[in-house]
């Protein structure tokens, strides 16, 4: 294998979800530790929420009869 051969990266390059700069390998998918910490802070504050419908009943995991 020569050094001129192209190596396929394991992950595709994507922009940072916080600022749009190219992502870095050490902090993937973010570009820096700062953007990674911003995202973590949003999760911890509850800014990211998965909406639930009010008409869903609580179940104990059993399928409906």
Q: Determine if residue 16 is labeled as part of a ligand binding site.
A: yes
Contact by Cβ (8 Å): 60, 48: no
- Structure letter (DSSP) for residue 61: S
Q: 62: which strand partners?
A: none
The answer to whether 57 is a known ligand-binding residue is no
How far apart are alpha carbons 8 and 59 in whole angstroms? 46
Binding residues, by number, are 16, 19, 31, 35
Binding residues for Zn(2+), by number, are 16, 19, 31, 35
């Amino acid at each position: 294998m020569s050094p001129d051969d192209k190596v396929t990266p394991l992950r595709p390059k994507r922009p940072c979800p916080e600022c749009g700069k190219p992502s870095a390998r050490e902090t993937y998918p973010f570009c820096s530790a700062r953007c990674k910490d911003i995202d973590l802070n949003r999760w911890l504050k509850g800014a990211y929420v998965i909406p639930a419908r009010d008409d869903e009943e609580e179940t104990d995991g059993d399928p409906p009869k």
